[in-house]
Structure 1
Amino acid sequence: MGTNATINLNQLAESITGQVIEWRRYLHSNPELSFQEEKTAQFVYETLESFGGLELSRPTKTSVMARLIGSQPGKVLAIRADMDALPITEENDFDFASKSPGVMHACGHDGHTAMLLGAAKILSGLKENIKGEVRFLFQHAEEIAPGGAEEMVEAGVMNGVDLVIGTHLWSPLPFGKVGVVYGPMMASPDAFWITVRGRGGHAALPQQTIDSIAIAAQVVTNLQHIVSRNTDPLDNLVLSVTQFTGGTTHNVIPGSVEMCGTVRSFDPKLRETVPATMERVIKGITEAHGATYEFKYEFGYRPVINDAEVTRVIEETVREVFGEQALDLMRPNMGGEDFSAFQQKAPGAFFYVGAGNEEKGITYPHHHARFTIDEDALEIGVKMFLNATFKFLV
C-alpha cells in the first residue's frame, strides 16, 4: 500500500467514526455478562450481515466470526474483539448508561466490538484490494475463565490463520497514544482458595481453641516469602491474598477461615512450581499449630506473549499513521487476557489504544463503576486495524 492508499484508509475510518460511536453506545446501553451475550452476538451478526461480502458464522452460542476473502490469494489475518460486560452497577449518568441492572461495560469491550465492526465495514468494501483473508473474531466471555477464546479456538476459528492481532482500550494510557509491548505483555491470572480449619471457642479462653485466624494470618504472611525468598528476583511473580473471611462476633474464635487470591506470572516453568510451593507453606504452618487445611489452585489463562515480527509491524503502523509521538513502548503488566489462546495457534500481537483523558475527567480505572473511555480513541483503533491489515496482507 502506498501513501495515497494509507491516506484513503484513514479518511474512510474518519468517515464512519460517528457510526462507530453509535455502535459503542448501543452496546454500552445493553451489556451482557460472560457466556450470556446472546443479544450482543445477534446485533453484531446482523450488523455484519448488512455490510455484504462477508461469510458469517456462529462458532459458539454467543460468538460471531466473519470471513472476508480477498480477490487474490495470500495470508490469513485474524483480528479479535471481546464483547462481554461485568457484574457492576454503573454510576455514570450518560444518556447511554447501562439499562441492565448490575451489569456494565466497565472494561472497554463495547469499544473493542465497535472498532472491529468499523474495520469490517470498511474492509468489506475493499475486497478487490485484499490479498488473502481477514477473519473478524467477535469473542464472548473474556472476563471469566476458562474464557471464550479457548472455546472459539476449539471450534476451529484459527484453522489456517497465519497471524492474529487484537487491541485493548487502555484508560491508564492517555488518548492519542498507542502502547506496544515486545515479548511478555500480560500475565497468567491463576486463582487459589484456602481454608484453614482449627477449633473454635471462647475468645477469653484461647488455650482451649486452635485459633484459625492466628494460623491463617501466618499463612498469609509466609506466602509472601514465595515471591521474596523462593523466586529469582529477576523473575516476575505476584502472589496476592485478596479475600480473608472468618468469624462472626468479637468474643468467639472461629473454627475456620477462608481465603482466596491470585498468582500472576509470565514464565510457564515458574508458574508450574507455585502450587506445590504454596501447599508446602500452608501444610507446614497448619500442622505446626494442630490445624488442617484445604487448598485449591486453578490455572487461568496463559500469559500474553507477543511475537516479535508481528509486534514490529504494529509498531511500524503506529509510527507511519500517527507519528513517533504517538508510540509508547510500554512495560508488561500483570493483568490477564485470554487473547493468549489465539496466540497458541498463530503468531500474534496485542496492543493498547490510549483511552484516558484527564482534561475530560476520564480517569477512572478499568472495572470501576464510573469507568468510561475517550470515544475519540475509537477512530484510532479503527485506523490501526485498517492500516495493519494492509501491512500484513502484502
Structure 2
Amino acid sequence: MTRESIWTTALSLSEELTAIRRHLHQYPELGFEEVLTSAYVAGELGKLGLSVQTGLAGTGITALLEGSRPGPVIALRADMDALPLKEQTGLPFASLHEGRMHACGHDGHMAMLLGAAKILTGLRGELAGTVKFIFQPAEEMLGGARHMIKAGALDSPRVDAIVGLHLWPDLPTGHIGLRPGTIMASMDHVNITVHGTAGHGAAPHQGVDAILIAAHVMTVLQSLISRESDPADPVVLSMGSIQGGSLPNIIADKVEIKGTVRAVREDTRARMAKRIQELAASVAAGMNGRAEVSYTYGYPPTVNDPQLIRWAEEALHELSAEVTVVHLPYSQMTSEDMAYYMDEVPGAFLLVGAGGSVRGEYPLHHPRMTIDEKALVHGAAFLADFTLRITEGLKS
C-alpha cells in the first residue's frame, strides 16, 4: 500500500471515525473509571481480530497486531479519561454524564488510534514487526501511564519505540506540530501552609496575620521567575488556590496555598523546589509566622527522540498536500504523562491541529472546547504511515 493509498483509506474512514469520537464524547468517564469507554474500545479492537488484553491498571487496554515479517515493536498510545467539567458546547452529541466532559480531546485521541488500527490491520502483509496499541486511563493529573507501565504495557513483547498524538485547538486544522527534544514541560505540585496567630480584627497587633503573610509569600515567589530564572529557560509558577480565614473580624491563623511549577529542565525543577522552600520560610519567619512547604514531583518533561522526529517530518511531508508541518519554536508549558513512557523507551509526541481554519475559539479544558473533526483523518493516517516508517527504520 502506497502512502497515497494510506491517505485514501483514512479519508474513507472519516465518517466512521467521527461517529466513534461522538459516541465516546457522549459518555465521558473520569480517570480509572473508564468502564464503558474501555468496553467500547475493546469491542472495536476485537472486530479487527487483534489480540486484546483488558484490565491493565483497572481499565487500560493493549492490543497486538503481528506483522508478516520480524521487526521491532512499536507502541501507539491514546488516553481515555475525561475531565470533571459541565459541558457548555450545546452540541447535539454533548456529554450525557453530568459534570463530566471530554474537554481535552481524549475522545478524538481514541478515535484516531482506532482509525490507525483499522488501517494497519489492512497492512499486515507489509508490516515488519509488531504494533502494540495502548489505550490508557487517567492521564489527567493521575499519572495513569505509570500504572500502565507497572502493569506491563511496555512488555510482552518489549516496546522499542512509542508514539502519541494530542489534538491541539491552538493549531489550525491540517497543521501538525513537532519539535525534537522537549515538547512539553514537567508539572510539579507545591502546597504551602502558612501559620500565624489568631486575633481580633480590631487588634491586629495581638495576632500574626496568616493572610497577610500569604499575600507576601505569593508576591515574593514570583521573583523566582522574574529575577532568578534565565529568560531562555522557560519556567511557570501558578498558584491556583488560596484558602484561609473564617470571619471578617478574625485575624486568620492559617492559610493554605496550592499551585503548580512547570519547567523544561530537570535542574530548574530542583532549583525551584529548593528556592520555594527557602523563600516561603524566610518571608513567613520575617513576619513572625511560619511556612511549611510540600513539593511533589509530578509529570516529567516530555522529550522527543530526535531520530523519530526526523522520520515523523519525512512522513508528514509525504503523507498529503492537506497536511502542513509546523516546527514548534519552543516547548509547550502544558504537561503530559506520555513522558513516563518516553522515559522508558524512545518516543515521539506530536500536536495535531484541530482548531478549524485558523485556531479554536476555546482552549483545552474549557467547557465550550470542541475540535474540528477533520483532524481525526490526519491523525489516523499519520499514525499508520509513521508506524511503517519507524518499523523499517529500526529494522535496518
Which TM-score band (shorter chain)? over 0.9
Which letter maps to 1:209?
G
Structure 2 match to 1:155? 151
Contact 2:3 2:318 in 1 (8 A): no
Structure 1 match to 2:304? 306
Which letter maps to 1:301?
Y
- 5+ residue gaps, structure 1: none
Structure 2 match to 1:341? 340
Counterpart check, 1:355 vs 2:354: yes
Moved more, 229-238 or 69-78: 229-238
Structure 1 match to 2:381? 383
Name the CA distance, whole Å, in 1 between partners of 2:188 and 2:34: 24
Structure 2 match to 1:19? 16
| Structure 1 residue corresponding to 2:263, chosen from 259, 265, 269 | 265
Structure 2 match to 1:70? 67
Structure 2 match to 1:332? 331
Deviation at 1:226, TM superposition (A): 1.9
Matches for 1:315-330 after TM superposition, within 5 Å: 315-323=313-321, 326-330=324-328
Counterpart check, 1:85 vs 2:91: no
Name the CA distance, whole Å, in 2 between partners of 1:45 and 1:233: 46
Moved more, 287-296 or 303-312: 287-296
Name the CA distance, whole Å, in 1 between partners of 2:350 and 2:178: 5
Contact 2:165 2:352 in 1 (8 A): yes
TM-score calculated relative to the size of structure 2: 0.94
Contact 1:108 1:373 in 2 (8 A): yes
| Structure 2 residue corresponding to 1:288, chosen from 286, 289, 304 | 286
Deviation at 1:325, TM superposition (A): 6.9
Deviation at 1:372, TM superposition (A): 0.5
Name the CA distance, whole Å, in 1 between partners of 2:236 and 2:194: 22
Structure 2 match to 1:8? 5
Matches for 1:3-152 after TM superposition, within 5 Å: 5-52=2-49, 54-58=50-54, 59-145=56-142, 147-152=143-148
Which letter maps to 1:352?
L
Aligned residue pairs total 388
Which letter maps to 1:316?
E
Describe the SS at the equivalent of 1:172: coil
Name the CA distance, whole Å, in 2 between partners of 1:390 and 1:46: 25
- 5+ residue gaps, structure 2: none
Which letter maps to 2:95?
S
Which letter maps to 1:302?
P
Deviation at 1:324, TM superposition (A): 9.2
Which letter maps to 1:170?
W
Contact 1:60 1:152 in 2 (8 A): yes
Name the CA distance, whole Å, in 2 between partners of 1:332 and 1:57: 34
**Structure 1 residues 299 and 103: alpha-carbon distance in aligned structure 2, compared to 1, 3 A threshold:** same
Deviation at 1:153, TM superposition (A): 1.2
Deviation at 1:297, TM superposition (A): 1.2
Describe the SS at the equivalent of 1:300: strand
Counterpart check, 1:365 vs 2:368: no
- Which string of whole-angstrom CA distances, capped at 9 and with x for unpartnered residues, describes residues 110-148 of structure 1? 000011011111212221111001111111110023x11
- Which string of whole-angstrom CA distances, capped at 9 and with x for unpartnered residues, describes residues 39-89 of structure 1? 11111111100111x111122221100110101001111111111000000
- Which string of whole-angstrom CA distances, capped at 9 and with x for unpartnered residues, describes residues 259-300 of structure 1? 111100111122123222111111111111221222211111
TM-score calculated relative to the size of structure 1: 0.95
Deviation at 1:323, TM superposition (A): 4.1
| Structure 2 residue corresponding to 1:251, chosen from 249, 252, 255 | 249
Counterpart check, 1:166 vs 2:164: yes
